[in-house]
Structure 1
Amino acid sequence: MQLLKFLAQIPPITQFVISDNLQVERRDLAHSEPHYPSPWTSPTAQGWEDAYAKAKDFVSQLTLAEKVNLTTGVGWQGEQCVGQVGSIPRLGFRSLCMQDSPLGIRFADYVSAFSSGQTVAATFDRSLIYRRGKAMGEENKIKGVDVLLGPVAGPIGRVAEGGRNWEGFSPDPYLTGVAIAETIKGIQDAGVIACAKHYIGNEQEHFRQVGESQGRGFNISDPISSNIDDKTMHELYLWPFVDAVRAGVGSIMCSYNQVNNSGSCQNSKMLNGLLKGELGFQGFVMSDWQAQHSGAASAVAGLDMTMPGDTLFNSGFSFWGTNLTLAVLNGTVPQYRVDDMAMRIMAAYFKVGRTIDQGPITFDSWTRDTFGPIHFAANEGYQQINWHVDAQEDHGDLIREIGAKSTVLLKNEGVLPLKKPRFLAVIGEDAGPSPIGPNGCSDRGCDEGTLAMGWGSGSDDFPYLITPIDALQYQALDDHTRIEAILDNYASSTIEALVTQEDAIALVFVNADSGEGYIEVDGNAGDRKNLTLWGSGDELIKNVSSLCNNTIVIIHSVGPTIVTDWYDSPNVTAIVWAGLPGQESGRSIVDVLYGKVNPAARTPFTWAAKAEDYGTEILTEANNGNGAPQQDFPEGVFIDYRAVDRANKTPIFEFGFGLSYTTFEYSDLQVKKANAGEYKPTVGQSPEAPTFGNYSTDLDDYLFPESSFPYIWQYIYPYVNTTSSLKDASQDPEYGQAAEEFLPTGAIDSAAHDLNPAGPGLADQSGGNPDLFDVLYTVTATITNTGEIVGDEVPQLYVSLGGDDDPKVLLRGFDRIRIDPGCTATFTADLTRRDISNWDVEAQNWAVTSAPKTVFVGPSSRKLPLSATLS
């Protein structure tokens, strides 16, 4: 039988076990201390009570094999989605469909291409961020997706050149925290589970995976280790994941990298200690695709679902599946741990309003053919697999609105907004279409034509793409404007002849791209090689502006670029950053250039004068022999504007900066102290580990049920191939070894344990100690529109924590307020205890230090006209 041959090759369980302690002994480097056991869910956790009760009812009916099916992917290309777990046909459960991406639906037709996370963050508009999340959730629901693989808070953007920064929101943890929370609420209000990723310290593409790195000539044995100290972890990298957990996120994806030399998907400190213990996370932890590197060790360290299920794509082998079934049967992994995995998965499912009566998956990730094999890798199960359902609804209007409201006006010498210009000379490849179409390169892995999306698994297919030249020509038709375009950055003589003509206003479109590490574009292996514009964009701007005294620069980019050489030229009359706006790119930029939308967006990152000013860089060379490259984070919390401020460098455009077509004045700062109680560490204990339903210990009950369904090649099952003995079934010559001999102390302990003093109580909202979120102060300020047109203003609240090792200022509040000309509005923001606290590494808790605290309010991180001392 083919199944017997396949299962006989599965390595023994003990070969998969790598304890945190063994990793510590192996290296005299940064290490992550073990934290066990893995905390189990709480039936009284605020907001999860009903979901827990429904999950308990469902999971209590499951056999062990069915529980294992919930936790284990069926293998790469095993079914229609990029990730799917096994089904439970006995109860009418079709499985769970996991699908990229954080800006749409990857590999699907008739879906929208939304603006990137970084781009929508520039709106500083909570409502708009929520609406984007809701719209993406609606489209995923229509297509049959159960778990949307996003939003992103890792990378947060430690390094400006980071390839996937655009998938996230901002290097500021407060802004990212607000944006990820609002996105999650939107997605899950639409009935789809959000999956916050990549947890944690996933800050560059170089060396994130062994195979990918070896393919580029680096003979490393383990992925890169992000070496992060405890204070930095809490105050920077963990911060937005706290907001994700408080927003009720159903799933969190652990990342490819190691943290302090322990793999993220089996790092018990990160998963058990911080995420499930300190934050009280009630949902499930999912591995990134092939980020699981052990079986029993990852199970007891807090991993709840392995994706896509196979150890390597299309290998047919799994660390879990059959191995997890056997690990429970032989006592290596306790029953309560597998029960807890299933409970977490199903609680997240029910929390977003789902029922067992699921709709169909209406698309196929591997082909656009209407009919084909449901099991693509095995080429079996021929049937209808694509229904070509249109899920777009009216989301194009929302994408256009986001694109315009996220466009940052960085410079304006009065040339904008345009008012029926006589002659426009549109210059640059970025203004026009790709010669092979918007989807011509797989996963958008090239930089052809206008840039509206980065590359990699964070992309999706454009249903259409309105380029800038498309929209500009329609506007020119209405205005009787003469318009000519040269879409070749290197057509120097032709460009010169055009832009030197009388009355010419030159619109120069340029870009800078990046993406995920499995794709390399022009030598950029995911991460950017530098911070220059692509296609000799900087030289193009300098050439055009030397010839035309009215040159407007429009930048589509994945983050900051170095504009030092040309930004202050008197001939560069305006600079606009339009990010990665998605399918409505052209109409969005025209709305801003012509004043249909008064710009109010703020740059979500710093534009430094030179790359060195950021103080961080991509690790591009293996620095630990054949071992895991070591990426230390010596800068601590000082990234982006925090680093530039500490170094007393002058940025070109500071974090939070953005201009408008009107003007505003700030006045009358007021700080009102709230009557909050004292911070009290959480006390008490959890109950003992619960189990749900019994499981058979008869090996005969786990034999592959040939009479029920056929064996599918490469498909991952929870079944065994022989019933002679557990030893024979596991092919393990070491069978009989006790779990405590190779798992860390306490790894399978089921007794009640003390609650984390910095964490929530059993009936509290997840995310940390509830006292941490008490409002201590309410800050108000008056803002007046002193101009002649209506406009939005984005007041920002910053705090100085006052310590010698604290950043000069930290963002702690913002709003986007529409104000009519001559009118005033009141900006109001609450400061919580968390907002003015530091992490005390000795006490292992949050504390408000005795250093003097100051609040500032203004339109950017370096323009803060109002200040007050906190009592």
Structure 2
Amino acid sequence: MILTPSLALIITGVLVATLTGRTHSARIYSNSTQKLESFPSPIGGRLSSQTELDLAWADAYEQAWDLVSQMTLLEKVNLTSGTGWEMGPCVGNTGEIPRLNFPSLCLQDGPLGIRFTELNSVFPAGLATGATWNKALMYTRGQALGQEFKAKGINVLLGPSMGPLGRAPEGGRNWEGFGTDPYLQGIGAYETVQGIQDVGVVATAKHFLLNEQEHFRQAAESSGFGYSDPMAYSGNTDGRALREIYAWPFAEAIRAGAGAVMCAYNAVNDTQACENSYLLNHILKDELGFQGYVMSDWLAQRSGVNSVIAGMDMSMPGDGESWADGIPFLAANLTLAALNGSIPLWRIDDMAVRILAAHYLVKQNPRNYTKPNFSSWTLVDNDDLYPGSPSKTPYGLVNQHVDARSSLSRRVTRQIATESMVLVKNQNSYLPLKSVKRMSIIGSAAGPFSLGPNGCENRGCNNGTLATGWGSGSVNYAYLATPFEVINMRAFSEGFGIDYSFDDYDLDSATVLAEASDVAIVFVTSDSGEGFLTVEDNLGDRNDLDLWHNGDELITTVASSNNNTIVVIESVGGVNMEAWIDNENITAVLYALVPGQDIGFGISDVLFGDANPSGRLPFTVARNKSDYPATVEYTMTSRQPQLNFSEGIFIDYRHFDRESIEPRYEFGFGMSYTTFEISNFSVELSSDANTDLEAPLPGNYSNPTLLNSSLPNATDTVYPDDIPRYKKFIYPYLTSSEADGIKYDEDAYPYPSGYNTTQKSVPHPAGGASGGNPALFDYLVNATAQVGNTGNLSGAEVVQLYLSYPDLLNVEFPVKSLRGFEKISLQPNETSTVQFWLTRKDLSYFDVVRDNWVLPRGNFSVYIGNSSRSNALAGRFSID
């Protein structure tokens, strides 16, 4: 069991009870030969390459070393530990360092806008952004997000999300990421991180790793199943799937310079993610060359010393075993662990330096940065500064009501809302709508929520139009443009008649409206979110892939009475549409994938032809739920549920291709109002390409920079008399009795097997720079094609490149893997050339025996088209 962190329990000077936590066996799922223990935690700032990014990191580390060298132990601890839930203006607040004029760092959700505030944008979710397949727009969205966070005085944006990837289609938070393919997800992560950090805000890549469902992701969510001391689920996968699927997008975020990574709630191969030394030390900090800092998800840390030596650098929000308990795993416990020898001082130095280096990388000096001008806990002007404390705390101005929105964010939210719309059916080219006289709008998803757009906390209900899912990734609306409101204004200006019903269960009214209309538009939903909320009996994850609120019956009822029925699906992912999709009276189907505050404009733009639809599915829509390779585990059959990712690398379209399953709509699919032709393919292996089996080894690490810190006297860490003490506020100080009982013994702590403190001199063969070995990103293959607009309307085509690998003995490859895409806007009769460069990593697979990326020998095939199944052979090349 995890013991309550009581500082009274000190055995021979070593803090055992408060800092040990659980230790799990190093179990590997499948046939991987990797070890799950890796020590020590690599010291940041040790570089082996001269990439532009790593040189920028080197400069950031120089500044960080200078400041940390001036800090006391207590000041370093303050930088690495949160002050507690609701103990500051933000969802996460570090301790401040007044002596050095260094403020508390503000960390705030989330990946699609600023949580818990006002006068900010609700950006389209990651899934909608991924559906645009527009790299430039992904970057610009990151910029706009960063600008709004910066305007509110936030140092760290808790996003983007690239885990969950979407292994299970019902996964509650799939909509926060960019899609179910690691390459697409990786591009979204790369562009978003760069956009956020280019404006001076630290981006956080989350949730590392295998955070693929909401059920049982935390021990607390496993209560009630009859097990004493239940544990978070363990996601178990092999080393190849871990690298090629789940870690791939994180590698891209790190290659973009992500300053922070958030470790997940769940366990990975039976070890908690936030104390998994193999994940954090070996893969993240060595193999992927991560130079920033690892923060815990909020209460994902389940141990003290074990988490720190495993590579976790910051504890958030600071509380330990239970929510808002005010009892930390770190803070004073970290002070004590340093003084009694449980944690080496160089490791605490490294934690502090990594945190500061990330901020200096983005040219953010927190000492001169805008202070938070909002409160996450109230919208009134004045309130308690630490509302989570039962003590009487200071009272003052907490909200300045700063309008963070800009012309950039306004343009971005509107453009993505439109470009993310995916048209999957358009029978007889019925859309765009023409010469409408009488229209009926049917379904609650078209209209407003009676309590207002923010009527449910954390958007934890499905009422009215569905522009975002629920949970910590949700945002307060300044406005919400519903489809009905936008279309109704259009009816006013254009003169057609409109009638409506927002009652999903009043089928009689729906029939009457449908019969009296030229066109009937049915709006339906499917919602999901984070597991701390249950909405209509869905505990975060969707219970199934069915439409909510009688959706199937509503659609079939309307379609039986109107032969021009349009269905608009407002959804967090794919839905089962087999009950009605082949109905000939259903002329068009449009997916709106949680596109944020401008959902109504995006839908209207496409329906009426103000914009040509250019969204493409970032996931596969199956005919049957059983066609998917994985599903959410809804029942708990052991104290720690085991989720075996037995499908390996074969998720989403890779599985459908492998098993020859015909999807309803394939990954990458989407329709346009014009037509395109892709031709003149060319594929060529670079003449100077290094095609060795493995990439050249990276150079040696630079020597570690040690700050020559020394431990203070224990008496110097006792609470000062002039520091006010508020209940549940988390401090770095010890009591006098605690300080008196300390003995230093660096060998007394029960360290995990294999623990050592000797730094490696050579990076992992797959490492050596931010994101991995720089040679993995050398261009080896060039492919080109021409794309022409052969229709009568301007539009944009998403040209997609898929790669097929050689046949190798004992190595199974996907039929095809996405390895490139470009979105090209063209006028009628216009033609453009699109070019793709494939890297060594694009062509390689991860060999768990060699523990490295390997370039296979044999014949490769390259396909170029506009979906995972609609593509033509572009060419072949061989590597001997």
What TM-score comes out, normalization by structure 1 length? 0.95
Partner in structure 1 of residue 713 of structure 2: 698
Q: Report the alpha carbon displacement of residue 42 of structure 1 after superposing the two structures with TM.
A: 2.2
Inter-CA distance 139–43: structure 2 relative to 1 (3 Å threshold): same
Q: Cα deviations across residues 238-288 of structure 1 (Å, max 9, x unaligned)?
A: 110110110000000000000000000000000001000101100000000
Compute the displacement of 1:32 (Å): 6.0
Q: Answer yes or no: is the 8 Å Cα contact 2:60–2:358 preserved in 1.
A: yes
Indicate which of 395, 401, 413 corresponds to 1:399. Answer: 413
In 2, Cα distance between the equivalents of 1:47 and 1:145?
22
1:192 equivalent to 2:196? Answer no
What is the 5 A alignment of 1:782-797?
782-797=786-801
- Among 22, 25, 31, the alignment partner of 1:23 is 25
Query: Residue 819 of structure 2 aligns to a residue in which SS?
Result: strand
From 562, 566, 575, the counterpart of 2:576: 562
Q: Deviations over 1:425-446 (max 9, x none)?
A: 1010000001111111110000
Deviation of 1:419 after TM superposition, in Å, equals 2.3
| Structure 2: gaps (5+ residues) | 48-53
Q: CA deviation at 1:745?
A: 4.9
Measure how far apart 1:472 and its partner are. 0.2
Report the secondary structure of 1:815's partner residue.
strand
Q: Which residue of 2 aligns with 1:449?
A: 464
Instruction: Note closer, same or farther for the CA distance 1:26–1:582 as it changes in structure 2 (3 Å cut).
Output: closer
In the alignment, which of 856, 859, 876 is matched to residue 869 of structure 1? 876
Shift of 1:770: 1.1
1:249 to 258, 261, 264: 258
| Alignment partner, residue 336 of structure 1 | 346
Q: After superposing the two structures, state which structure 1 stretch, 219-228 or 70-79, moved more.
A: 219-228
Distance in 2 between residues matched to 1:444 and 1:341, nearest whole Å: 35
When the two chains are superposed, the root-mean-square deviation of aligned CA atoms in Å is 2.1
Change (3 A) 1:360 1:655: same
Distance 2:100 2:538 in 1: 48
Aligned length: 853
Q: Residues 273, 261 of structure 1: CA spacing in aligned structure 2 closer, same or farther, 3 A cutoff? A: same
The aligned residue for residue 382 of structure 2 is: 371
Aligned residue identity for 2:15: I
Letter in 2 for 1:747: Y
Matched, 1:499 2:507: no
Letter in 2 for 1:646: R
CA distance in 2, matches of 1:17, 1:175: 39
* From 736, 751, 756, the counterpart of 2:764: 756
Residues 669-748 of structure 1 correspond to what in structure 2 (within 5 A)? 669-674=681-686, 675-677=688-690, 678=692, 679-682=694-697, 685-687=700-702, 689-692=704-707, 694-707=709-722, 709-722=723-736, 725=739, 728=741, 738-739=746-747, 742-745=750-753, 747-748=755-756
The one-letter code of the counterpart of 1:180 is: A
Q: In the alignment, what sits opposite 1:214?
A: 223
C-alpha distance in structure 2 between counterparts of 1:791 and 1:315, whole Å = 55
Q: Secondary structure at the residue paired with 1:552?
A: strand
Structure 2 counterpart of 1:34, which letter?
E
- Mean Cα deviation higher: 679-688 or 528-537: 679-688
CA positional deviation for 1:720? 0.8
| Equivalent pair of 1:603/1:658 in contact (CA under 8 Å) | yes
CA distance in 1, matches of 2:159, 2:10: 32
**Superposition deviation, residue 687 in structure 1:** 4.9
Matches within 5 A, 1:165-180: 165-180=174-189
Deviations 1:359-413 (A, max 9, x none): 1111101111110111111251101011111101222332111100010011112
User: SS at the partner of 2:169?
Assistant: coil
Q: Which is further off, 269-278 or 667-676?
A: 667-676
Where 1:547 maps in the other structure, the secondary structure is coil
Q: Distance in 2 between matches of 1:823 and 1:283?
A: 45
Q: CA-to-partner distance for each residue in 1:283-315, whole Å, 9 max, x for gaps?
A: 000000111111111110000000001102221
- 1:655 to 1:564, Cα distance in 2 relative to 1, 3 A: same
Question: 1:772 aligns to what SS in structure 2?
Answer: helix
Contact kept, 8 Å, 2:64 with 2:360, in 1: the verdict is yes
2:58 maps to 49
Q: Which residue of 1 aligns with 2:438?
A: 423
In structure 1, give the amino acid aligned to 2:397: Q
Identity %: 44
- In structure 1, what is the Cα distance between the partners aligned to 2:476 and 2:644? 37
Correspondences of 1:508-657 after superposition (within 5 Å): 508-624=522-638, 627-657=639-669
Aligned counterparts of 2:772 and 2:472: Cα–Cα separation in 1:
31
- More displaced, 850-859 or 283-292? 850-859
Q: 1:22 to 1:421 in 2, by over 3 A?
A: closer
Amino acid of the residue matched to residue 317 of structure 1? I
Match of 1:438 in 2: 453
Query: Quick check: 1:35 aligned with 2:45?
Result: no
Which secondary structure does the structure 2 equivalent of 1:781 belong to? Answer: strand
Residue 391 of structure 2 corresponds to residue 382 of structure 1 = no
After superposition, what is the alpha-carbon deviation per residue over 1:20-49, rounded to whole angstroms, capped at 9, x for unaligned?
A: 865349999999621000001125433312
**Secondary structure of the equivalent of 1:465?**
coil
Match of 2:75, SS state, is helix
Is contact 2:244-2:649 (8 Å) kept? Answer: yes
Q: Is the 8 A contact 1:592 1:598 kept in 2?
A: yes
Query: Any conservation in 2 of the 1:794–1:817 contact (CA below 8 Å)?
Result: yes
Q: Which moved more, 1:64-73 or 1:667-676?
A: 667-676
Q: Does 1:130 align with 2:139?
A: yes
CA shift at 1:358, angstroms?
2.1
- Alpha-carbon spacing, 1:73–1:725, altered in 2? closer, same or farther (3 Å): closer
| Counterpart-to-counterpart distance in 1, 2:665 and 2:164 | 22
Q: 1:600 to 1:684 in 2, by over 3 A?
A: closer
TM superposition shift of 1:221: 2.4
SS in structure 1 at match of 2:801:
strand
1:314 aligns to what? Answer: 324
Deviation at 1:786, TM superposition (A): 0.6
Q: Give the Cα–Cα distance (whole angstroms) in 1 for the partners of residues 384 and 21 of structure 2.
A: 40
The aligned counterpart of 2:51 is none
Confirm or deny that 1:839 pairs with 2:846. yes
Q: Secondary structure at the match of 1:350?
A: helix
Deviation digits for residues 334-371 of structure 1 (CA, Å, limit 9, x no counterpart): 11101110111000011111122121111101111110
**Structure 1's 145 and 161: CA in aligned 2 closer, same or farther, altered over 3 A?**
same
* Residue 489 of structure 1 pairs with residue 504 of structure 2: yes
For residues 802 and 680 of structure 1, do their structure 2 counterparts lie closer, same or farther at Cα, with a shift above 3 Å needed?
Answer: closer
Residue 46 of structure 1: SS of its match in structure 2? helix
Looking at structure 1, the residues matched to 31 and 656 of structure 2 have their Cα atoms a distance apart, in angstroms, of 29
2:203 is paired with a residue whose SS is strand
Which residue number corresponds to residue 680 of structure 2?
A: 668
Partners of 1:218 and 1:741 lie apart in 2 by 30
SS at match of 1:23: coil
Question: Which residue of structure 2 lines up, in the alignment, with residue 732 of structure 1?
Answer: none
Aligned residue type for 1:850: R
After the TM superposition, which of the residue ranges 81-90 and 684-693 deviates more from structure 2? 684-693
The equivalent of 1:142 in structure 2 is 151
Measured in 1, the distance between the counterparts of 2:447 and 2:510 equals 15
Q: Which moved more, 1:212-221 or 1:604-613?
A: 212-221
Tell me which amino acid in the other structure corresponds to 1:702.
Answer: T
**Is 1:69–1:718's contact at 8 Å kept on the other side of the alignment?**
yes
**Matched AA of 1:14:** V
SS in 1 for 2:833: strand
SS of the aligned residue for 1:670 comes to: strand
Letter of the 1:262 counterpart: T
- The normalised TM-score by structure 2 is 0.94
How many Å separate the matches in 2 of 1:796 and 1:140? 33
Q: 1:699 to 1:847 in 2, by over 3 A?
A: same
Give 1:230's aligned amino acid: G
Letter in structure 2 aligned against 1:652:
R
Tell me the residue number matched to 2:780. Answer: 776
Shift of 1:750: 3.8
Q: Which amino acid aligns with 2:763?
A: L
Q: 1:58 to 1:43 in 2, by over 3 A?
A: farther
Do 1:154 and 1:203's aligned partners in 2 also have CA atoms closer than 8 Å?
yes
Matched, 1:467 2:486: no
1:751–1:115: structure 2 CA closer, same or farther, 3 Å change rule? closer
1:576/1:737 CA distance change after superposition, 3 Å: same
In structure 1, list runs of 5 or more residues that go unmatched.
730-734
